[in-house]
């Protein structure tokens, strides 16, 4: 399942590898998406469902999972790419009887698709994306910047997702989103999102440090020294 309002060509490229392994590809799209992008979604989806967007983004996750017909549901966002190893592993994982969910490492690509950030707050970043489709096991709260909650037994994978946010979204846009959600205690995801800014060739980045003071999150602009550990793909 892909839950998205992202550009159609990107979604078609992201979902194409799943056509060989998925029983069904469901795209749940923001109703504001242009018709041209919806046509691209339809080119790879078995089903396309529109919904009316009301914040937060995570509000309809439980509903969207209930639309899925399979015993397992794998979710990927419109700014992510599944590694070939992860796609290949899905059929075997879906035969698993000893787990309710699988947690997948997500790697933040930066400054281009050849490398990813290998230090906090971007790594480690595990996402629960493959879950058993059982409505008797509630796992979604619909709260901003949350995904499925931990339910045991669970397993952690080595096959990664790759996150495109720092490549496809301008820094100003990420910073604006962080400011809008800075009063939300669950906004650590936006800390990771906004902190990466490709400002110089030496990777001296604007860094947003979040400080908890009397229950409020205060944004302090600083500078990250060029100390990122950049890992190659893999």
At 61, which CATH number?
Answer: 3.90.550.10
**Do residue 157 and residue 195 come from a single domain?**
no
Condensed to tens digits (0 to 9), the pLDDT of residues 47-104 reads 999 999 988 888 899 999 999 999 999 999 999 999 999 999 999 999 999 999 999 9
**Number of domains the chain is built from:** 2
Q: Are residues 125 and 221 in the same domain?
A: no
Paired tokens of 183: 């009063």
Q: Are residues 93 and 178 in the same domain?
A: no
The tokens describing 110, both together, are 């930066």
- List the beta bridge partners of residue 166: none
Tally Cβ neighbours within 10 Å of residue 164: 20
pLDDT value at position 146?
76
Question: In this structure, are 158 and 85 located in the same domain?
Answer: yes
Domain shared by 111 and 131, yes or no: yes
Considering the domain architecture, whether residues 14 and 80 belong to the same structural domain is answered as: yes
pLDDT in tens, 137-180: 878 888 777 788 889 999 999 999 999 988 888 777 766 666 66
- pLDDT tens string 8-22: 999 999 999 999 999
Full residue range of the structural domain in which residue 216 is found: 168-231
Residue 131 and residue 19 share a domain:
yes
Q: Does 204 score more than 50 pLDDT?
A: no
Query: What b/e readout covers 82-98, taking b as 16+ CB neighbours within 10 angstroms?
Result: bbeebbebbeebbeeee
């Amino acid at each position: 399942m892909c839950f998205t309002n992202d550009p159609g060509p990107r979604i078609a490229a992201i979902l194409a590898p799943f056509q060989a392994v998925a029983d069904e590809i469901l795209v749940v799209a923001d109703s504001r998406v242009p018709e041209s992008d919806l046509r691209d979604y339809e080119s790879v989806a078995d089903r396309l469902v529109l919904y009316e967007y009301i914040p937060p983004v995570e509000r309809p996750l439980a509903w969207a999972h209930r639309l899925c017909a399979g015993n397992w549901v794998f979710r990927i966002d419109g700014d992510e790419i599944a590694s070939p190893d992860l796609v290949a592993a899905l059929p075997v994982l879906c035969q698993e009887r000893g787990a309710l969910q699988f947690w997948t490492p997500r790697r933040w690509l930066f400054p281009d698709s050849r490398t990813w950030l290998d230090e906090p707050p971007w790594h480690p970043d595990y996402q629960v994306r493959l879950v058993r489709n059982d409505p008797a096991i509630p796992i979604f709260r619909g709260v901003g910047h949350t995904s499925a909650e931990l339910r045991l037994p669970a397993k952690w994978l080595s096959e990664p997702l790759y996150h495109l946010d720092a490549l496809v979204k301008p820094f100003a846009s990420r910073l604006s989103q962080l400011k809008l959600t800075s009063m939300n205690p669950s906004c650590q995801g936006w800390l990771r999102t906004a902190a990466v800014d490709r400002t110089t060739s030496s990777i001296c980045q604007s860094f947003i440090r979040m400080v908890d003071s009397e229950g409020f999150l205060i944004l302090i602009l600083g500078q990250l020294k060029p100390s990122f550990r950049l890992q190659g793909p893999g």
